[in-house]
Amino acid sequence: MKNIVIIGCGQGIGLATAKLLSKDSKVIGISRSYNPEVEKLHIKFHKLEILEGNLDEIAFPEIIDGLVYTPGSINLKPFNRLTIEDFKNDFEINVLGAVKTIQKLLPHLKKSESASIVLFSSVAAKLGMPFHASISASKSAIEGLTKSMAAELSAQKIRVNAVAPSLTDTNLASQILSTSEKRESSAKRHPLQRVGNAEEMAKMTAFLLSSDSSWITGQVIGVDGGMGNVKL
């Protein structure tokens, strides 16, 4: 049975991934927020703010087969209203938290025969979208990190890939999807005429962690309703 670490398992895509993977893997979940739904899962849960907390306080298994980093941000503002602190905060959440986690768990991942790391980008890193300057910058960094780490860790047979969703129906996107009108408008922007859901992202994550994707590394895979490549 594989040992999988999920950062951000308290809600959204992280929670959906924990639900899916806990059926046949040993999941260690870390989140700054507690969700009663986590209690229903057969996972080891640790409440920790990934940027400020001390990962040394957690007893990780000697061998880790998969690492999933799901924390993100949706900070949509006109460029002239974005502060340097906005850019710093988004970069810390999206990039530095991932870097901190990978550096801590790398010795454990190296002991696996087939380790896989899954990070999260965004369709906004590929498409120029208004009001997305800060999130696009940090998610573009995630894509660069994914490719660089895939190259560097290939000798240890550690695969590194990223999932790039478009708008997904989670708590993080609740304000964007707060009314039926907003939801309909968001759906129509996608070639497949709907927004995504956390379960779809979880299934792609599970695939990238599995042996079915054993010859895939350094990839950024769009799960975006066609937005990244299809023009209406």
Q: Which domains does the chain have, with CATH numbers?
A: 3-167+196-223 (3.40.50.720)
pLDDT of residue 112: 98
| Residues with pLDDT less than 50, the chain | none
pLDDT of residue 67: 98
- DSSP SS3 for 164: strand
Compute the distance between CA of residue 207 and CA of residue 213 in angstroms, rounded to an integer. 6
Q: Which residues, in sequence order, are CB contacts of 216 under 8 Å at separation 6+?
A: 159, 161, 208
pLDDT of residue 173: 66
For residue 185, how many C-alpha atoms fall within 13 Å in the half-sphere facing its CB?
Answer: 7
pLDDT of residue 118: 98
DSSP codes, 64-78: --EEEE---------
pLDDT of residue 174: 66
pLDDT of residue 232: 78
